[in-house]
Amino acid sequence: MSTYALTDSWTMTRRELAHWARQPVQVVVSLVFPVMLLLMFGYLIGGGRAVEGDYVDYLVPGMLALTMAFGLEGTMLAVTQDLNKGVIDRFRSMPMADGAVLVGRSAADMLQSAIGLVVLIGVGLGLGWRPHAGPGQFLGAVGLLLLFRFAMLWVGIQLALVAGRPEMVQAVQILVWPVGFLSNALATPAAMPGWLGVVVQWNPMSQTATAVRDLFGGPGGESGHVWAAVVWPLGLLVVFFPLAVRRFRGLGG
């Protein structure tokens, strides 16, 4: 990416960050929701999941992965609102690199996702979860989580561009729920019917959750899933990133 494109993308990122100051409640809610889920499953539904060892050691990495799949509606709504208000048309009329608006939006989302990870990790430590990993493995796990988020983000951006209207975002967002809950984020496939366990094991998010558990040194982790946790998101990016940029370029066509 050229310096020109990077400068334009940074300008669009600062635009999105400025929205945070004007809409702090939305940012706080996006951080609090996964915390509420973690506390609910940790305290109310913990145990009885056919997990060896302490359930919280299995739950926290899974919740970190689950959080990376959820919360896409904020970015999707922002894209569709800009489309319908003519904001993107005005940006397209400026001497700006193609896709800088989308890259800026994704950069702001990734920053918020990183903050959300820090908050959720802190709550997990408060619940008694302890990662049994060195600094390199810990950072590797965080890297896999953010890579998965980045891939899911571009899936969401493409779907938002296809939907075109804010009222359609909620319907499209429902498609994310099967990815999240048909996974091993909250329960081990061993506790599920055989056919469902197979589906769960092939879920991209299950690959990330399993790899992260392995890097954190917790129950349910398998080292062979680290490569799958890299290949799946990269595959999604190879498909959806160019689709989103191509559709963005064709909006005024």
Predicted confidence at residue 208, as pLDDT, reads 93
d(CA 154, CA 157): 5
Determine the residue type at 140: G
- Answer yes or no: are the C-beta atoms of 12 and 104 closer than 8 Å: yes
pLDDT digits over 213-249, tens only?
Answer: 999 987 777 777 889 999 999 999 999 999 988 888 7
d(CA 189, CA 194): 8
CA distance to 26, 64, 113, 184, per residue, from 37 (Å) = 17, 11, 16, 15
Burial of 85 (0-12, 13-18, 19+ CB in 10 A): exposed
Coil, helix or strand at residue 79: helix
Q: Across the chain, what does the average pLDDT equal? A: 80
Predicted confidence at residue 164, as pLDDT, reads 76
Length of the chain: 253
